[in-house]
Amino acid sequence: MYNFDNEINRRGTNSLKWDALNERYGNPDLLPLWIADMDWETPSFIKEAITRQIADTPVLGYTITPPEYKSTIRKWILDHHQWDVKDEWLSFVPGIVKGIGMVINVFLKEDEKVIVQPPVYHPFFLTAQGNRREVVWNPLKPVYNNDGSLKTYEMDFDNLEKVCDEKCRLLILANPHNPCGIMWDRETLVRLAHFAKTHNLIVVSDEIHCDLAIFGHKHTPFATVSKEAAEVSITFSAPTKTFNIAGVISSWAIVINDDLRRRYYGWLEANELNEPTMFAPVATIAALSQGETWRREMLAYLEDNIRFIEDFCHENIPSIKPVRPQASYLVWLDCRALSLSHRDLEKLFTDKAGLALNSGRIFGKQGEGFMRLNAGCPRATLKVALEKLEKAVASLTDKK
């Protein structure tokens, strides 16, 4: 049994989550529940594998990628997602956001466009804009509960047809969705693949949260749903979210289409961007070959954390309604019943509650009225955070 209640002091470790609070939020003393890494200890078998690599290697010189790197990834994907990935389809990439930027530069001319579906992980559109490509917005359609709170989102294919013109060349998909944690169903993915094929679009499917399926849900890799999906897709994934090793840059791409693969992997190879550091394969092999028990126990603890958030809000902060994720440790909080401007909502969390969450607005204007909470932490941390939030919300009533 692994201990997920252990509270680890990450301050002073150059942790972005903890040590950049003053820079990002103007207050170093906030309790951070924002960026998507977890406050649980990285599994010891991964750290031990990296330590052995350092201790047992007298010269940290140029290295080759271990042959078991790709075979370990392929076995993991086959075992967990029933996708038989061929060796030649697979390549290391130095980070998924970087990989997306590389796709944009390889395949899109400067006057061509990128489609995103907000609210969505903000680097999707920031990377496109930073590379001087126009972003085309196809907002997801909200689906509501009977009380008017958000239940989930659906893709808006009617609007997609309207906004997609001949200059649109790329659609970036979060599968599972971030920030709402949706596991897109096969029917939706088949329909998206057909749309992409008939409109000459490449679909980049970011599947980094795919091994964090919870509450009985199962991930469907986009490239597997149809022949059309296989032909139009570039899939990215990594062990970094699942095993809390974001600091070890170890991501991969899967490209089935021969022409897309030749162009993309040829560019990676020409720029030596398909070569990992010596530590990335070591961490990946250890995680995927030894990590299943840890992963299952972590997900069980995570499910209880999410139930705790739901119950606490229902009983003590009913104006804040968590949207239950189907994957990942990120919880989308519907705060619209507080009837605050989004700026005042942000101030409620930071100035009054002393919490650092991701503002919903960074995921697109459709995120206004929402905040994203990271539940990947000890339950005691969540309890403190929610109690602080409860007091902050109560102070709004006291002033009326």
- Tens-digit pLDDT profile for residues 319-360: 999 999 999 999 999 999 999 999 999 999 999 999 999 999
Q: How far apart are CA 12 and CA 163, in angstroms?
A: 47
Q: Is the pLDDT of residue 55 over 90?
A: no
Burial-class residue 93 by CB neighbours within 10 Å (0-12, 13-18, 19+): buried
Q: How far apart are CA 378 and CA 6, in angstroms?
A: 7
Q: Contact, 167 vs 199, CB < 8 A? A: no
| Per-residue model confidence as pLDDT tens digits over 257-295 | 999 999 999 999 999 999 999 999 999 999 999 999 999
Token reading at 351 = 């100035």
Confidence of residue 171 (pLDDT cuts 50, 70, 90): very high
Q: With DSSP H G I counted as helix, E B as strand and the rest as coil, what are the percentages for the chain, rounded to 5?
A: 45, 15, 40
- pTM for the full predicted model: 0.96
Residue 113 confidence (pLDDT): 98
Q: Is the pLDDT of residue 378 over 80?
A: yes
Closest alpha carbon to 223 in 199, 185, 201, 193: 193
Confidence of residue 400 (pLDDT cuts 50, 70, 90): low
Where does 83-214 have alpha helices with state H? 96-107, 123-130, 157-163, 186-198
Q: How far apart are CA 330 and CA 310, in angstroms?
A: 13
The contacts of residue 111 (CB under 8 Å, 6+ apart) are 134, 167
Per DSSP, 139 falls in state P
DSSP 50-115: HHHHHHH-S-----PPPTHHHHHHHHHHHHHH-----GGGEEEES-HHHHHHHHHHHH--TT-EEE
Confidence of residue 54 (pLDDT cuts 50, 70, 90): confident
Residue 18 confidence (pLDDT): 97
**What average pLDDT does range 147-169 have in this prediction?**
97
Whether residue 176 is preceded by a cis peptide bond, meaning omega within 30 degrees of 0, is yes
Confidence of residue 13 (pLDDT cuts 50, 70, 90): very high
Mean pLDDT estimate for the chain: 97
Confidence of residue 364 (pLDDT cuts 50, 70, 90): very high
Provide the residue count of the chain: 400
The CATH 3.40.640.10 domain(s) of the chain lie at 50-290
Q: How far apart are CA 198 and CA 164, in angstroms?
A: 11
Rounded to a whole number, what is the largest CA-CA distance in the chain? 68
Packing angle between helix 44-56 and helix 279-290, nearest 10 degrees?
140
Confidence of residue 135 (pLDDT cuts 50, 70, 90): very high
The CATH 3.90.1150.10 domain(s) of the chain lie at 16-32+292-398
Sign of the CA dihedral running 153, 196, 178, 358: negative
Per DSSP, 356 falls in state E
Topology of 16-32+292-398 in CATH? Aspartate Aminotransferase, domain 1 (3.90.1150)
Per DSSP, 183 falls in state -
Topology of 50-290 in CATH? Aspartate Aminotransferase; domain 2 (3.40.640)
Confidence of residue 238 (pLDDT cuts 50, 70, 90): very high
Confidence of residue 205 (pLDDT cuts 50, 70, 90): very high
| Per-residue model confidence as pLDDT tens digits over 64-94 | 999 999 999 999 999 999 999 999 999 999 9
CA 203: distance to chain centroid?
A: 17
Cα separation of the two ends of the chain? 49
Q: Is the pLDDT of residue 398 over 70?
A: no
Q: Is the pLDDT of residue 156 over 60?
A: yes
Ramachandran area for residue 177 (φ above 0: left; ψ -120 to 50: alpha; else beta): beta
**What average pLDDT does range 164-173 have in this prediction?**
98
